[in-house]
C-alpha cells in the first residue's frame, strides 16, 4: 500500500515523473550573498548537476540585512525586502530551468514561539523571472509542530544515493549555524523511518563573522588565519558547553543569534585567542552532536563556508572517530549544496512529495511545504 501511494505521488499527468531542471537559490545566515545552482531531478533521485552562480551582497546590502535580523512580518522591512528581491533577480537571471526553488533570507527563527521568518516575495520573483517559483518552504512544517529546520537532509539522502554510499554517513553544513545530517542510504525514499536524523549542532560561522566585524572590520576569518595565531581558552570553551541546548535531544534547531553570548565569553580575550576559542566552540558543538547518531557514520562530509577554514577542519579531524573531508572529496560542490537542495525540494513540492519528516525536523509525520507561485 505505501509503495503504491509513493508511486502515485510521483506521477504527473498519469505517468511516472520524468526528471526536470530546477534552479535553487540560497542566501544563508552568514549574509555573504546568493548562491544559485541547477539540478536535474525527479524529486527522488539526482540525475545531473548543472551550472551554478553567485551574487555577493555589497557591504551596504549586508549592513541593511544585518539590521533586519530578528525582525518579523509587520516590521519595517521594505528596504531589506528590495535588497533580497533584486539580488535574487540578478543571481537567477540567465539560467534556464523548469522551476525555481527560492529559500529567501532567514531573519528570525522561533519554531516554538512566533514561527519562522524567511524574507522574500516568491510571487514577485516569479513575475520578474517569468517562471514558476516555489518558496516559503518552512512554514508548513512549523505549523504542524516541526522545527522547520534543517531542510537540506532530504537532499543529503539523495546525494548519498548519487555517490553510491552503502553504509551510514553524515553531512555537516558549517554555515552561519552548523547542522548535521546522519544518513542511512539503504531505504528507497528519504521520508522512510530511520533513513535520516538531522539537527542543528550549534553556532558555526555566524558568531566568528560577528567577532571579525566587531574587532577587525572584516566579514570573516579568511582561511582561519586569525584563529591559527591564537590559543584556545579552555575556561571559555567549558562555559560554552554548559549551554542547555547541547543536552536537548534532536531534532532541534537554532536561530542565528541564539548563541550571541559567545561574544561575551571571549570579550576579555585578544583577537587571535578569541577567534581560536570561538572556532573551537563550533567544532565542540559538532562533537557533542555526533553522540546523537544512531550508528557511527562511516565518514563525515563537510559543506558550507566552514570547510574552507583549515583550523576548524583540523579540530574536527582530531576530535572525531571517523574520517572528515570536504564534500568535494566525493564529487559534490560544497559552495552550492544548499542552493542545490532547494532546487531538489522545489521539485518535491511540485510533485506533492514530503520535504521533512519526524527524523529531520521533529514534525509529527512526513509533510510537504512550500508555496507555488506561477506566472
Give me the pLDDT at residue 258, please: 81
Which listed CATH number (3.40.50.2000, 3.40.50.2300, 3.30.2040.10, 3.30.420.40) goes with 165-330?
3.30.420.40
Mean pLDDT of all residues in 158-187:
96
The pTM assigned to this predicted structure is 0.91
Give me the pLDDT at residue 12, please: 42
Q: Where are the alpha helices (DSSP H) in 93-152?
A: 122-129, 139-143
- The model's confidence at residue 142, banded by pLDDT at 50, 70 and 90, is very high
Q: Where are the alpha helices (DSSP H) in the chain?
A: 2-9, 59-68, 78-92, 122-129, 139-143, 153-162, 205-216, 225-228, 234-240, 262-265, 271-290, 310-319, 337-350, 358-361
- The model's confidence at residue 16, banded by pLDDT at 50, 70 and 90, is low
- The model's confidence at residue 29, banded by pLDDT at 50, 70 and 90, is confident
Does residue 155 or residue 263 have the better pLDDT? 155
Mean pLDDT of all residues in 371-375:
96
- The model's confidence at residue 259, banded by pLDDT at 50, 70 and 90, is confident
pLDDT at 131 exceeding the cut of 80: yes
How confident is the prediction for the chain on average, in pLDDT? Answer: 93
pLDDT at 279 exceeding the cut of 60: yes
Give me the pLDDT at residue 285, please: 97
Rounded to 5°, the CA angle 141-146-147 comes to: 105
Q: What is the spatial distance between Cα 43 and Cα 52, in angstroms, rounded to a whole number?
A: 19
Give per-residue pLDDT as tens, 93-118. 999 999 999 999 999 988 989 999 99
Residues in the chain: 375
- The model's confidence at residue 322, banded by pLDDT at 50, 70 and 90, is very high
For residue 81, what are the CA distances in angstroms to 120, 131, 196?
6, 20, 34
For residue 93, what are the CA distances in angstroms to 13, 23, 24?
29, 10, 12
pLDDT at 34 exceeding the cut of 90: yes
Please state, for a pLDDT cut of 70, what percent of the chain lies above it: 96
Asked whether 100 and 345 are in contact (CB, 8 A), the reply is no
Give me the pLDDT at residue 57, please: 96
Mean pLDDT of all residues in 190-215:
95
Closest by Cα among 83, 52, 68, 29 to 305: 29
- The model's confidence at residue 33, banded by pLDDT at 50, 70 and 90, is very high
Mean pLDDT of all residues in 284-296:
96
Give me the pLDDT at residue 6, please: 36
Domain boundaries, the chain: 2-150+337-373, 165-330
Asked whether 151 and 251 are in contact (CB, 8 A), the reply is no
pLDDT at 124 exceeding the cut of 90: yes
Q: Which fold has domain 2-150+337-373?
A: Nucleotidyltransferase; domain 5 (3.30.420)
Give me the pLDDT at residue 3, please: 35
- The model's confidence at residue 261, banded by pLDDT at 50, 70 and 90, is confident
pLDDT at 8 exceeding the cut of 60: no
Amino acid at each position: 500500500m505505501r509503495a503504491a501511494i509513493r508511486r502515485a505521488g510521483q506521477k504527473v499527468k498519469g505517468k511516472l515523473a520524468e526528471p526536470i531542471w530546477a534552479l535553487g537559490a540560497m542566501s544563508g545566515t552568514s549574509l555573504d550573498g546568493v548562491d544559485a545552482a541547477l539540478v536535474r531531478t525527479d524529486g527522488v533521485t539526482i540525475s545531473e548537476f548543472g551550472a551554478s552562480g553567485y551574487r555577493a551582497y555589497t557591504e551596504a546590502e549586508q549592513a541593511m540585512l544585518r539590521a533586519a535580523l530578528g525582525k518579523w512580518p509587520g516590521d519595517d522591512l521594505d528596504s531589506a525586502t528590495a535588497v533580497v528581491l533584486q539580488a535574487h533577480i540578478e543571481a537567477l537571471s540567465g539560467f534556464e530551468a523548469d522551476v525555481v526553488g527560492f529559500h529567501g533570507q532567514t531573519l528570525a527563527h522561533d519554531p516554538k514561539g512566533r514561527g519562522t521568518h524567511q524574507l522574500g516575495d516568491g510571487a514577485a520573483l516569479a513575475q520578474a523571472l517569468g517562471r514558476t517559483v516555489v518558496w516559503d518552504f518552512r512554514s508548513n512544517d512549523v505549523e504542524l509542530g516541526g522545527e522547520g529546520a534543517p531542510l537540506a537532509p532530504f537532499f543529503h539522502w539523495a546525494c548519498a544515493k548519487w555517490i553510491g554510499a552503502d553504509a551510514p554517513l553524515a553531512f555537516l553544513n558549517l554555515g552561519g549555524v552548523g547542522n548535521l545530517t546522519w544518513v542511512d542510504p539503504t531505504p528507497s525514499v528519504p521520508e522512510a523511518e530511520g533513513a535520516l536524523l538531522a539537527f542543528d549542532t550549534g553556532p558555526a560561522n555566524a558568531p566568528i563573522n560577528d567577532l571579525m566585524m566587531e574587532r577587525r572590520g572584516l566579514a570573516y576569518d579568511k582561511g582561519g588565519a586569525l584563529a591559527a595565531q591564537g590559543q584556545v581558552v579552555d575556561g571559555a570553551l567549558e562555559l560554552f558547553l554548559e549551554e542547555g541546548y547541547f543536552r536537548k535531544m534532536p531534532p532541534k534547531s537554532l536561530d542565528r543569534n541564539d548563541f550571541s553570548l559567545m561574544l561575551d565569553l571571549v570579550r576579555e580575550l585578544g583577537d587571535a585567542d578569541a577567534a581560536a576559542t570561538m572556532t573551537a566552540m563550533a567544532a565542540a558543538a559538532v562533537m557533542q552532536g555526533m553522540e546523537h547518531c544512531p550508528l557511527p557514520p562511516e565518514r563525515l562530509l563537510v559543506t558550507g563556508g566552514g570547510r574552507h577554514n583549515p583550523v576548524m577542519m583540523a579540530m574536527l579531524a582530531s576530535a572525531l572517530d571517523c574520517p572528515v573531508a570536504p564534500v568535494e572529496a566525493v564529487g559534490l560542490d560544497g559552495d552550492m549544496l544548499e542552493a542545490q537542495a532547494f532546487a531538489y525540494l522545489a521539485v518535491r513540492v511540485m510533485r506533492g512529495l514530503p520535504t521533512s519528516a519526524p527524523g529531520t525536523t521533529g514534525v509529527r509525520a512526513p509533510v510537504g511545504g512550500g508555496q507555488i507561485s506561477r506566472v
